Amino acid sequence: MVTKLPKVDVVTTGMGWTGGIVAAELTKAGYQVVGLERGVERSIEDYLHGHDELKYNVRKELMQKLNKDTITFRNTLNDEATPVRSENALVVGTGTGGGGAHWGGQTYRYFPYDFEIRSKTIEKYGEGKIGKDVTIQDWGLTYDEIEPYYSKFEQMAGISGEVDPMAGPRSIDYPTPPLKKLKQMKMFHEAAEKLGCHPFVVPTANVSETYVNPDGEQLNACQYCAFCGNYGCEYGAKADPIVTVIPTAKKTGNFELRTHSLVTRVLYENGKATGVLYKDIRTGEVFEQPADIVALTSYTFNNVRLLLLSGIGQPYDPKTGTGVIGKNYTDHHTITGAIGYFEKEKFNSFIGTGSLGSAFNDFNADNFDHNDVDFIHGGQVEMHLFGNEPIANNPAPFGTPTWGKEFKKNSLHYYHRNVSVVSQRAILPHKEHYLDLDPVYKDDNGDPLIRVTFDYTAEDHKRNEFLVEKCAEVVKEMGADIIDVIPMAEHFGGRFTFQHDAGGAIMGENPETSAVNNYLQMWDAENLFVCGASAFPHFGPTNPTPTAAALTYRATEGMIKYLKNGGGQLVAAKKEKELV
């Protein structure tokens, strides 16, 4: 039996960053929002005494448990997909805060090139520069259009940073100063500058000083304790939905949070979403929550899965290239580079944050001439000081045995004498990389799991080889005595380790090639907004959170316009414009 509840203005399907932003902005505008979250409610008190590497970094205490719900994976259309069961291979947040509770806090913007990647590539290099089965497309908006929303996120989250000289223009500086520049970072800057590059201290949600954001929420100064990625911050020094947007929504009196609420369907009728079905996972009760607007604000995999399970939009077919739901799945998956080992230098490897470090972007986006390389886009060269936790980190030069006397000797000797310089690279979509419903494996409710089809392409390997060489050059210039280059596997092996998944409900100007418009509003359901990295037509060079958040801030403006105007598409489809 389904219990039908009173209608509300907006219902969300998760309470991480995107759900929190929707809740904060819509409730501040006077609308009633119900936030559905399948996990528990957290407060900062839940993070106290959380410096436990085994519990949080190894056993993934803050993550979704894969024995209840997971994904399946295969490399090619001819392979049989199998479920991902290792918690070291798939980390997806659950509970209030979602991925924003355990993220490291790296907050880079994408480049102007990213948002118009196809047209800018063709304009400069010709269409032949784009691989035959590479399905890049422009995003349907420009960097200049999204820039104010990047700034809004940064001001809300108190981002501490130094402006990247290679980045797009900014309307306002970061609200707090960059984190401290440690010894390794100073060496990186000197080396990069000698190589003719333009280093900067990376922007971070690990706030450098006490800060009160525009909504009146306070963030505290970072302690550099290094318990960031995979951990919640007990000091309230890391921007997290539970200390920013969710409290803002609660203060309005217009927000209701319902935890342990698993959304199983979007209800859809006559071209509109009428609400959602959700299950109380404690009691098994099923509820219908009607709403004027449904905002899908869960993780990429679940956003796409809900659309497919609900029959909204045309599923993507990799053989014909038709359809849009599931199209252009991308992910970082592997970050490679070089490790330098030093005999004369010694560092404090315990101090760090989830994003303390330095980087440069001279070989990113289209910041360099691509005429003489067999790929487009590029990547960021970076060095981060996360604080080397002893279980996960036993660095020793290649060739060292993985156990025994020599291993112990080298791992102890080099623990404070190593630096990693790596590259996060853009990953471009491919015709045969996509998401769909698995025909075999199901969850506890009998619903199909989402299936991922993905592998590295020849272009991925060429881009990696180029950037790894740049990483090794930096390590050498820093004065390392031993340099080990981190290899990239020939094929992707199914480790979805960084929670950097994108695509599947991509944005664009044309409903024939995209699922949502540039307000993240579904072409097939005008009151359904799909928020998050599922909207990315390709994966840019760095961490997705700031771009997902910026797009969501813009989407909330669209939601408010929609509610005020009584409906309708917020932008016209490109083909309709051409007809006019």
Q: Which residues are catalytic?
A: 500
State whether residue 174 is helix, strand or coil.
Answer: coil
Residues found in the chain = 580
How far is it between the farthest Cα atoms of the chain? 76
Separation CA 486–CA 473 (nearest Å): 13
Angle in degrees, 0-180, between the axes of helices 183-194 and 458-478, rounded to the nearest 10: 110
Whole-angstrom CA distances from 182 to 105, 187, 238, 323 are 18, 9, 19, 50
Cβ atoms of residues 307 and 25 within 8 Å: no
Q: Is 348 exposed, middle or buried (0-12, 13-18, 19+ CB in 10 A)?
A: middle
Separation CA 490–CA 183 (nearest Å): 35
Q: Residue for token digits 């349907």? A: 140
- Closest-CA residue to 362 (of 223, 183, 190, 193): 193
State whether residue 308 is helix, strand or coil.
Answer: helix
Q: Residue for token digits 């090619």? A: 76
Separation CA 233–CA 217 (nearest Å): 15
Written in H, E and C, the secondary structure of 473-487 is HHHHHHCCCEEEECC
Q: Which residues, in sequence order, are bridge partners of residue 201?
A: 358
Separation CA 171–CA 152 (nearest Å): 10
